[in-house]
Structure 1
Amino acid sequence: MQTLSGLAQGTTWHVTVWRQGGVDIASLRRRINTEFERLDGLLSNYRDDSVIEQFNAAAVTAPIAVGEEIVRLIEAARAVSEASAGCYDLTVKPLFDLWGFTGESLTVPDPAVLARTRERVGFRHLVVLPPDKLRKVLPGLRVDLSSIAQGYSVGRIAMLLEAAGIVDYIVEIGGELQTRGRKPDGGHWRIGVERPLPGERSVEKALTIKREAQLAIMTSGTYRHYYDAQGRRYSHVLDARTGRPITHDTVSVTVLDDDPTRADAWSTALLCLGHAAGLRAADQAGIAALFIADENGRLWEHVSTAWSALQDVEVQ
């Protein structure tokens, strides 16, 4: 078993692989780095020259070619947005900027300014023109792919491994991951779900992956990213319906799914909704989800019906 690691997409990545007869690690690393560079050039909201940022910078309402991959991501995100009643939305970037979440300090916006900014947010202002074009209804619309791009990237790196004949692996980017197969000794992969407490690094749940097919494990949380201002703590997760940070007590959501892209979007959407509304949405969509809530200083777990019915994942 061999592990490669590096930096990409503003975080760390790790790829653990093995194959009978060995793996050409040097060649594999080159392919992985090349794919990360390609994905960065498409999806990064931190590069002015990326395809998505060029789309954001274009203050026009004419169709713009962005490529089939971005169009598919937008369509996948729109489906999850609709299932979350609009809580999750890729066009919230103006609200993030307004609250100061893209900087080092938070500024609680004036209600009138917040209301005007909300008018510029919403999937209704973004038109998909398959196979490879998007059109803005409002010229100032901006799309932030960060809540879905990492899951998509996990899937792309996994596809690269499989194209090289590797079917036993873990791909992890910034804590988001996908597994397939087993360890060299025939044992199962074991994955830890972090206890969602600020300043602490411990395991809340251990997952033993007994399936050999692909499985994505994606977690979204509020416990690492928040701002304290005027005696209050503000989550970095914004509800697109209100334009304000979420206020419920759910601090972490883990989603298991065959599709890493869908799992990434759903973990964010369910965190936005919180466990009360999130459980209803997850059950309606058949999503396996673990919600962890901080209720008066104690952690409580809530699970969807699909999570309770898992047969090939042992949860401890």
Structure 2
Amino acid sequence: MLLLSACSRTEQVETLTGFAQGTTWHVTVWQPGGVDLNTLQKHIDAEFSRLDTVLSNYRADSDIERFNRSETTALVEVGEEIVTLVRTARTISEASQGCYDLTIKPLFDLWGFTGDTLTPPSPDVLAQVRQHIGFSKLSSPSGNLLQKSDPKLRVDLSSIAQGYSVSRIAAVVEAAGIQNYLVEIGGELQTRGHKPDGSPWRIGVERPLPEGRSVEKALTIGRDTPTAVMTSGTYRHYFDEQGQRYSHILDARTGRPVAHNTVSVTVVHDNPTEADAWSTALLCLGSRNGVKVAKQQGIAALFIDTEGGQLQEVPTTAWRALKEQHIEVN
């Protein structure tokens, strides 16, 4: 009886929480025999710290910001992680017809989305800055080098780095021998395995409304293989200026915030890095064009539009077929 009691105490869900990358994170785990939470916490904190020094656009000493400051067309060593992210993003950018583009950082700064005040630029200034935007001006000739053809080019990894961070924290968890977990950073997440009683992880997709928080959809992840759920939306980060609402999602082709009525896109994928980038790319395109691209790429995505003050769901074919992958949508 004592033995059975001890086992039941160790086979329970444990959750670690913290603050990183400008948001909160939660790691929920369980494993037969229990989990060394103190050691796991140390390893997670160390990995977040390492990722920060590589990918953060808010740290002047990070590898990506060192590259951004290097106003040169010479080769710059940035490491394999950044090059891999750039290559992944380039493929998705091409599929989005250039709407999604990591080189929009000068535009993001120009509009004021990095601060507290929106500053809509004049057409002349916008045209001038757009001359220094575009994946065509960025190359990755080797596994750890990047090169600019325009010295003023700057890269913003925020649309893909969080998904990659989810994958890295999940790798830390798995390195500890844990096969059952839910890793979440700022609402972006990956699951693996199931709960101690055999029941699946359940995920809530937030209703895309600025006021309050409620669930639009619930996903029941009935498969044990790694599954990423990523959502991008315009409903939390925006500015209202002179009666007009400006989304923080910028279309690299125009240099302006998107103007369509798609307010969120949720993507279910087996790769959190790609899922993160795809959710942003499809949100940039909007449902009218994004559904076509998602269908071509086989992406399971749920677009949510606003029509006459009401929310309208627009699922892709792959999203409707999630049940075949043992993922229930309610």
Query: What whole-Å deviation, never above 9, does each CA across 1:209-247 have from its counterpart, x for those lacking one?
Result: 011100000000000011011111111110000000001
Segments of 4+ moved more than 3 angstroms = none
**1:35-54 correspondence to structure 2 within 5 Å:** 35-54=47-66
Query: 1:100 Cα shift?
Result: 1.1
281, 293, 304: which one pairs with 1:281? 293
Q: Secondary structure at the match of 1:127?
A: strand
- 2:329 corresponds to 1:315: yes
Q: Percent identity?
A: 66
Q: Partner residue of 1:148?
A: 160
CA distance in 1, matches of 2:266, 2:125: 34
Partner of 2:210: 198
Give runs of aligned pairs for residues 155-174 of structure 1, distance below 5 A.
155-174=167-186
Residues 1:97 and 2:109 are matched in the alignment = yes
TM-score by length of 2: 0.95
1:114 alignment partner in structure 2 = 126
**CA drift at 1:293:** 0.4
Q: Report the Cα offset of residue 50 of structure 1.
A: 0.3
CA distance in 2, matches of 1:143, 1:108: 21
How far apart are residue 62 of structure 1 and its match?
0.2
Specify the code of the residue in structure 1 equivalent to 2:110.
L
The 3-state SS of whatever aligns with 2:198 is: coil
* Equivalent of residue 234 in structure 2, options 222, 238, 255: 222
> How many residue pairs align between the two structures?
316
2:277 counterpart of 1:290: no
Cα shift at 1:150: 0.3
Gaps of 5+ in 2: 1-12
Tell me which amino acid in the other structure corresponds to 1:243.
G
1:212 to 215, 224, 235: 224
> Aligned pair 1:137/2:149, yes or no?
yes
Q: Distance in 2 between matches of 1:250 and 1:121?
A: 24
**Deviation per residue, 1:120-165 (Å, 9 max, x gap):** 1000010112210000111111000000000000001111111111
Give 1:80's match in structure 2, choosing from 92, 97, 101: 92
Structure 1 match to 2:4: none
Shift of 1:66: 0.4
Q: CA RMSD in A?
A: 0.6
In the alignment, the residues of structure 1 paired with residue 215 and residue 59 of structure 2 have an alpha-carbon distance, to the nearest angstrom, of 34
> Aligned pair 1:300/2:312, yes or no?
yes
What does 1:18-37 correspond to in 2, within 5 Å? 18-37=30-49
2:277 matched to 1:271?
no
Partner amino acid, structure 1, of 2:327? V
Q: Residues 244-259 of structure 1: matches in 2 within 5 Å?
A: 244-259=256-271
Q: Which amino acid aligns with 1:11?
A: T
Distance in 2 (CA, whole Å) between partners of 1:9 and 1:107 is 25
Distance 2:226 2:113 in 1: 34
1:183 counterpart letter in structure 2: K
Partner Cα distance (2:110, 2:67) in 1 = 20
Q: Output the CA distance in 2 between the equivalents of 1:295 and 1:153.
A: 34
Shift of 1:200: 1.7
User: How far did residue 105 of structure 1 move?
Assistant: 1.0
Which among 250, 253, 256 is matched to residue 241 of structure 1?
A: 253
The amino acid across from 2:275 in the alignment is A
Distance in 1, matches of 2:119 and 2:173, equals: 44
More off after superposition, 108-117 vs 185-194: 108-117
Equivalent in the alignment of 2:9:
none
For the residues of structure 1 that align with 2:49 and 2:122, how far apart are their CA atoms?
40
From 6, 14, 22, the equivalent of 1:10 is: 22
* Higher-Rg member (1/2): 2
SS at match of 1:91: helix
TM-score (norm 1): 0.99
Task: Give 1:263 shift.
Answer: 0.1
The whole-number CA distance in structure 2 between the counterparts of 1:296 and 1:144 is 34
Take 1:191 and 1:115, find their aligned partners in 2: how far apart are those partners?
A: 42
For residues 308 and 138 of structure 2, the distance between their equivalents in structure 1, rounded to whole angstroms, comes to 40
Structure 1, unaligned runs of 5 or more = none
What secondary structure does 1:183 align onto?
coil
Aligned to 1:65: 77
